[in-house]
Structure 1
Amino acid sequence: MQGPDSHSVDEHARGGPRPSAAEFLRANHDVLLAEWQQEVMKHLGGKAPAHPPWLIDHLPELLSTLADAMEAGPEALDERLEAAHAAARMDAGFNLGEVAQEYALLRRCILHRLETQEQQLRPGDLTRLEETLDRVVTRTMTFFWDMKQRTLQTLDRMSEATLDDPDMETLLERLLTRLMETALTVDTAAVMMLEGDALVVRAAVGLGTDEVKGLRVQVGQGVSGQAALERRPFFVRSAATDPRVLLGPLRRAGLRALYGLPLMNGEQLLGMAYMGSRTAFAFSDSDVLLFHAIAERASAHIAQVELHEREHAARREAERSLAQLDSLLESAPVGIAFLDLELRHLRINSTMARLNSKSVEMHLGRTVREMVREDLQASVERPMRQVLETGQPLRDVLIQGPDPVRGRPGFWRVDYFPVRTPDGVLLGVGNTVVDVSDFKHAEAALQQAIDFREELIAVLGHDLRNPLHAVNASAFMLGNVPDLDTGARRSVDRIRKATARMTRMINDILDFARSRLGGGIPVTRQRVNMLELCQGVLDELQVVYPERPLTLEVHGGDLWGEWDPDRVTQVLGNLVVNALQHARNDSPVVTQLTGEPMDVVMRVCNEGDPIPPEVLPHLFDPFKQSRPQQDPGNKQRSLGLGLYIVGELVQAHQGTVRVETGDGDGTTFTIRWPRVPPPRGDLPP
């Protein structure tokens, strides 16, 4: 590479006047830089270094300074350049030997360049150049060593600050205090922690300590917030007058130099640290280097504290979760156990342990075969292995065997489920066991009660109805005696009404028992005429209630269909009797029949008070009165099964029943009887 004085260099090479050392350095400035870098790479074997080993940031100034010193004397050397170079190399992690090697390579490049050009410097210049280089190297080494010792001493004192394991804010303040004790130009220093999207001053020493603690600066605002956003250091020459300094106490303290840098844990921003001086407009390189070392130590401690806090929080959460799990296991009324892939017990509660007649401690680490009775081993182990093989839970597995504790047959309902990590890795199998022996024995007792009830219903249906029919037949014969007086005939009528009501009550009770216990009321269909059925029912009821008008109205249409005649007459009888009970004493009960294409519609109407709204939703419930008793003196009682049986019988025919009631309109029950049963998919809900 040719510099501005390359022509004069060629003249010297041809035997012209000898150049001075200053002229040589200036003329070969760029060439020496290039050759020095080549020598460095050759020294490193052509491999890129872990940290930059060349003096590219300081070498141009160093060469210029050397040239000036050769003309003006050693006083022209700038010590600040050497100190800056030493600080930069220490900050980059160089050791003393590496710094010396850089200068040795520079010396070699200068001598090599002189030999290549076959030049000789003016008498005495080469010696003075060597001496000047030695002075630069010596002072750089001295600066480097002094800064190294100063930093090591400060780090030792920083290590002492951590011996008693202080909290984070105390330790940070101790580290900042060590900085102020070592760097005399530093008058204040602080650490700002990143909390959410703001930097908060958590530790401070020096000027404005009490005022600045707790102050916040949003990330991206002011000089510190912007530096945090960009992850870079910042420097302010006059903090008292710079509007980018947002912390008021720093401006009021009259600070000049203000330097800050981000606290990083890898790529994670932890906060910012700054130091300020009221006397200096700039900090020395050694002070900056020391501040970097302290910041690195603070960052490491902050990261370590956060890591410990997360570990402690995770440990506390794990302990809390385990405590909750243990509490749940012990308080659960069911047996619970967790087993590994080899079916060894990992955790088990006392309920499960009692079921196995062994302690909790005896189960831990033992297999199912070792803990479960021999007669139950296969039935317990088989579903567990199935869960491990398929990864699918098994529910409601019933295990039966002798219960040695209670001395009777035992029944246990077991659920098995796979136990996995959050990422799906199968760890083992868990199971819950519920002792259902009491339920099974209660179920057996209930079945016995049901059997007894069915026997009782059979007695009621057969043994009671037969004498009741005899009473009714005797009353009918007495009623036909021609010479009965009025009082005797009235007594016979009361007997006939009472036996009729008892017959309906017995029929309702039998049908209720069948609907609840036998799977529904049986229906035997045959082709019948609805008009004939209804006329027969009304004729029978008219004999029992001769003083009440019972009217049948036919509104046309085909009245034939497939129904159970006994059930149709039972429905109409219950509706008419219900209407007689709630209608006015002198009002008729009207039954209407209408033939439609698919159905025959039956309506039973009476005049009387409307059904209360609160009664309507429960009108067809069993053992419910269709209306509240308005007259306390009314002695008439009912089981409340009549309308329930009506609803059940209509539903058995796949029909519908509807009630309409209102003031002035009375009450109407409307039943739609399908002529033929609809397909199963078309049944009404």
Structure 2
Amino acid sequence: MLEPETRSTEHGEPERETPLRASDFLRANREALLSEWEHAMHALHAGLREKPSWLLDHMPGLLVSLADALDQGEQGPDTALADEHAVVRLDQGFDLGEVVAEYALLRKCILRRLEAQARPLEPGELERLEGALDRTVVRTVQRFAEERQRSLQALDRMAQATLDGPAVDTLLVRLLNVVMESTLTVDSAGVLMLEADRLVVRAAVGLGGDKALGSSLALGEGFVGEVAATRQPMTLRSASTDSRVVLTVLRDVGLRAVYGVPLVEGTRLLGVAYLGSRTSFGFSDADLLLFRTMCQRAAAYILQARLQDMERDARVEAQRSLALLDALLAASPLGMAFLDPELRYLRINQTLADINGFPPEAHLGRTLREMQPKAVADLMEPLLRRVLETGEPLQSFEFATPTSLMPPRGKRMWQVTFYPVREPQASGLLGLGCVLVDITHHKQTEASLQRAVDFREQLLAVLGHDLRNPLNAIGASAFQLARAEELEAPERRAVERIRKSAGRMGRMITDILDFARSKLGEGIPVSPQPMDLADVCQATLEELQVSHPGRPLLFESSGDTSGDWDPDRVAQVLGNLVSNALQHGGGDTPVHTRVRGEAHDVVLEVHNRGEPIPAELLPRIFDPFKTPVATSESASTYQKQRSLGLGLYIVHQIARAHGGRVEVRSSEEEGTTFRVYWPRAKSPPARV
């Protein structure tokens, strides 16, 4: 019990004050001391509002603990409270001087309040109070220094783990091992990295570490997902029974306490790290502080390792690309080089170096003008500048060896292509590439082939023209013989065969002459005039029927069939189509010819039944000399026919000369139909 504050003397002396105990003073002035101390702390840290130094934190509890210690005669206040205060101040970012300063302010507030008291302390109480305060400061500073040293050692070991620039997975395992060695109560630790929209276990050590690797969960899923989604540390006290634990390995190994911390670098979430203990339901504040500190530093290391991995992969890919490029340049029979925007050689293969007459290494860093003769540089440099200015490639530019260089290098023909080389994002030009091909042999072969083609076409023209006169004589003689009355039936049949063969040869010669004209550039001449297509077709069929009495040639027409065309060419088209139908159609099936007037065209159709045109022949049915050679006994009749194949080509050319077109459809069910479109519009004679 507290003694009375005053008492009377026996002789009526004035009352005198009873001395105070230090513990009573602290309890009686607790609120005032805390208020004065907080005010002093605000003044001390003016302008540094980012620190929570003005919060009371453990100070009320420390005053109560200090008073209890004075009452009980202990050496100092509760050491656990002092330790916790030291850890919290370390977590809040205080340095050691600031921790000592806050205790110094508390001491000053106590002394100032004591001076203002009318009642003094009992003898020795002030010394006891000072000693208790000193022990509190010493304990707090000691604990603060220990934990800081522990953190520094752990961070130093983490830094050492990154010195050789390991890959991300290797770095994570090393960092987790540092955590395990720095915290004795930890039995399991792991790191989940954010990949796309899922958290994937990339490293795990301790209990269940091997089984945890590769496991994944979504953001917000379970305890770990919630840590990632909220970006706040979280603690579980019984992981093996908590429904929020989604990773089965955390339950299977019987973990109790689990602590998760988000790995954040700036505003970017990298993943989540966790600690687990099978022997404890909770971790100490010091261990949690150490783990958070290590996670903060680890986030920066992980991001750096990721960047190094990307750089390493990019370097490997670049080296691989360069190796492939070097192999391509070395093996290519083409001359190839890359030049920068100043037209300096960056790379050149042996082929082009040999053409230039210098080794590849002599070109590097030298300009085109330095490595090429003036005549070549004057020709090529403007072309290269144009590619750089426009960004458009120059394709297949052909040139001959300049006259001044022919004595030493010989007469050669070259083809060169220049193309711009852009940055990956196409934001600018890195330079340009050059591909040079020696086309001398190709040009020589091309010229020889052209001469052979010209000779063949001239030969066909001469042959067709020179054969026409004797063939006309044969036809005329056969006609005269056919009129002789004294011929017997066998002789008349022989004469008739001569006439038919002569007529067929005449049509073949006409086709050859038309083909030669079209290939020699003269084109097939046409002379359009007003005519009725149906009348010309009917007359042509009557003549053909005489030559083929055993095959019915059917004809029908409808609509307006008049227009401006060349009647002789129309007859030639119909003759070729009907001859083709007779040749490839069924032996006794009729050939149908239809003429149909439409709004803008008159359509001529020739249809026959029989084996369809082979599918592989349809795309080039109107090409000359296209009939394939039979390769087996089962080959089609089209493959077994051996003819020049000029008839359909001439049909196509005549239709084009009139501004029309030819179509063909052929199938087993419908037979074969050739359809020619003759435009009605009058037009001047055209050449194809």
With normalisation by structure 1, the TM-score equals 0.77
Match of 1:190 in 2: 189
Contact 2:623-2:649 at 8 Å conserved across structures: yes
Contact 1:211-1:249 at 8 Å conserved across structures: no
Shift of 1:412: 0.9
Deviations 1:237-296 (A, max 9, x none): 556665656677877877665555445555434432314262x55544444444455556
Q: Following superposition of structure 1 onto structure 2, how do residues 404-415 of structure 1 map, counting pairs within 5 Å?
A: 407-415=410-418
Q: For residues 411 and 374 of structure 1, what CA distance do their matches in structure 2 show?
A: 17
With normalisation by structure 2, the TM-score equals 0.76
Partner AA of 1:314 in structure 2: A
Gaps of 5+ in 2: 6-15
**Compared CA separation, residues 97 and 532, structure 1 to 2 (3 A):** closer
Deviations 1:535-570 (A, max 9, x none): 87578768x849679999897988764322332332
Instruction: Kindly indicate whether residue 416 of structure 2 is the aligned counterpart of residue 417 of structure 1.
Output: no
Partner of 2:422, secondary structure, is: strand
Deviations 1:87-112 (A, max 9, x none): 22333444433321221222233344
Q: For residues 555 and 254 of structure 1, what CA distance do their matches in structure 2 show?
A: 97
Contact 1:265-1:300 at 8 Å conserved across structures: yes
Contact 1:83-1:285 at 8 Å conserved across structures: no
Q: For residues 463 and 258 of structure 1, what CA distance do their matches in structure 2 show?
A: 107
Match of 1:4 in 2: none
Shift of 1:158: 7.1
Shift of 1:82: 0.8
Partner of 1:614, secondary structure, is: coil
Partner AA of 1:349 in structure 2: N
Shift of 1:365: 1.3
Shift of 1:444: 2.5
Match of 1:566 in 2: 568
**Compared CA separation, residues 510 and 235, structure 1 to 2 (3 A):** same
Shift of 1:505: 0.8
Match of 2:431 in 1: 428
Match of 1:12 in 2: none
Shift of 1:507: 0.5
Shift of 1:508: 0.9
Match of 1:60 in 2: 60
> Which one of 677, 680, 684 corresponds to residue 682 of structure 2?
677
> Which one of 638, 643, 649 corresponds to residue 654 of structure 2?
649
Partner of 1:408, secondary structure, is: coil
Q: Following superposition of structure 1 onto structure 2, how do residues 156-555 of structure 1 map, counting pairs within 5 Å?
A: 167-168=170-171, 171-172=174-175, 174-179=177-182, 183=184, 186=185, 188-194=187-193, 196=195, 197-198=198-199, 200=201, 202-205=203-206, 208=207, 214=213, 216=215, 218=217, 220=220, 223-237=223-237, 258-266=258-266, 267-276=268-277, 278=279, 282-292=282-292, 302-303=302-303, 305-332=305-332, 334-402=334-402, 407-422=410-425, 424-480=427-483, 490-518=493-521, 520-528=523-531, 545=547
Deviations 1:630-682 (A, max 9, x none): 999xx9975343344234323432456678999999998776655543799xx
Q: For residues 162 and 591 of structure 1, what CA distance do their matches in structure 2 show?
A: 90
Partner of 1:232, secondary structure, is: coil
Shift of 1:140: 1.6
Match of 1:5 in 2: none
**Compared CA separation, residues 423 and 240, structure 1 to 2 (3 A):** same
**Compared CA separation, residues 31 and 349, structure 1 to 2 (3 A):** farther
Q: For residues 645 and 85 of structure 1, what CA distance do their matches in structure 2 show?
A: 106
Q: For residues 187 and 530 of structure 1, what CA distance do their matches in structure 2 show?
A: 103
**Compared CA separation, residues 586 and 191, structure 1 to 2 (3 A):** closer
Q: Following superposition of structure 1 onto structure 2, how do residues 588-599 of structure 1 map, counting pairs within 5 Å?
A: none
Contact 1:338-1:428 at 8 Å conserved across structures: yes
Contact 1:659-1:667 at 8 Å conserved across structures: yes
**Compared CA separation, residues 310 and 669, structure 1 to 2 (3 A):** closer
Deviations 1:199-225 (A, max 9, x none): 6484434xx467875495746455455
Deviations 1:352-395 (A, max 9, x none): 43443333322221111122332121222112222322333333
**Compared CA separation, residues 497 and 71, structure 1 to 2 (3 A):** same
Q: Following superposition of structure 1 onto structure 2, how do residues 102-117 of structure 1 map, counting pairs within 5 Å?
A: 102-113=102-113, 117=116
Number of positions where the alignment pairs a residue of Structure 1 with one of Structure 2: 653
Gaps of 5+ in 1: 1-7, 9-14
Which has the higher mean CA deviation after the structures are superposed, 19-28 or 369-378? 19-28
Contact 2:262-2:271 at 8 Å conserved across structures: yes
Partner AA of 2:611 in structure 1: P
Q: For residues 340 and 108 of structure 1, what CA distance do their matches in structure 2 show?
A: 75
Match of 1:614 in 2: 613
Partner AA of 1:571 in structure 2: V
Contact 2:601-2:677 at 8 Å conserved across structures: yes
Contact 2:401-2:410 at 8 Å conserved across structures: no
Q: Following superposition of structure 1 onto structure 2, how do residues 148-163 of structure 1 map, counting pairs within 5 Å?
A: 148-150=148-150
**Compared CA separation, residues 248 and 525, structure 1 to 2 (3 A):** closer
Q: For residues 229 and 65 of structure 1, what CA distance do their matches in structure 2 show?
A: 40
Which has the higher mean CA deviation after the structures are superposed, 171-180 or 92-101? 171-180
**Compared CA separation, residues 19 and 361, structure 1 to 2 (3 A):** same
**Compared CA separation, residues 446 and 82, structure 1 to 2 (3 A):** same
Match of 1:11 in 2: none
Q: For residues 585 and 621 of structure 1, what CA distance do their matches in structure 2 show?
A: 26
Q: For residues 230 and 636 of structure 1, what CA distance do their matches in structure 2 show?
A: 84
Q: For residues 363 and 101 of structure 1, what CA distance do their matches in structure 2 show?
A: 72
Partner AA of 2:646 in structure 1: L
Q: For residues 592 and 160 of structure 1, what CA distance do their matches in structure 2 show?
A: 95
Match of 1:3 in 2: none
**Compared CA separation, residues 469 and 550, structure 1 to 2 (3 A):** farther
Deviations 1:2-59 (A, max 9, x none): xxxxxx9xxxxxx998876556545554554454344344444x32166444563122
Deviations 1:405-427 (A, max 9, x none): 98333131313224234161332
Deviations 1:98-142 (A, max 9, x none): 321221222233344556x57564344544433332221122223
Q: For residues 436 and 522 of structure 2, what CA distance do their matches in structure 1 show?
A: 33
**Compared CA separation, residues 461 and 214, structure 1 to 2 (3 A):** closer
Match of 1:141 in 2: 141
Q: For residues 333 and 202 of structure 2, what CA distance do their matches in structure 1 show?
A: 54
Contact 1:576-1:604 at 8 Å conserved across structures: yes
Contact 1:412-1:433 at 8 Å conserved across structures: yes
Match of 1:122 in 2: 121
Q: For residues 496 and 396 of structure 1, what CA distance do their matches in structure 2 show?
A: 56
**Compared CA separation, residues 649 and 611, structure 1 to 2 (3 A):** farther
Partner AA of 1:610 in structure 2: R
Shift of 1:511: 1.5
**Compared CA separation, residues 597 and 154, structure 1 to 2 (3 A):** closer
Partner AA of 1:276 in structure 2: S
Match of 2:9 in 1: none
Between the aligned residues of both structures, percent identity stands at 46
Partner AA of 1:36 in structure 2: W
Partner of 2:56, secondary structure, is: coil
Q: For residues 541 and 491 of structure 2, what CA distance do their matches in structure 1 show?
A: 25
**Compared CA separation, residues 429 and 33, structure 1 to 2 (3 A):** farther
Contact 1:656-1:673 at 8 Å conserved across structures: yes
Q: For residues 244 and 379 of structure 1, what CA distance do their matches in structure 2 show?
A: 77
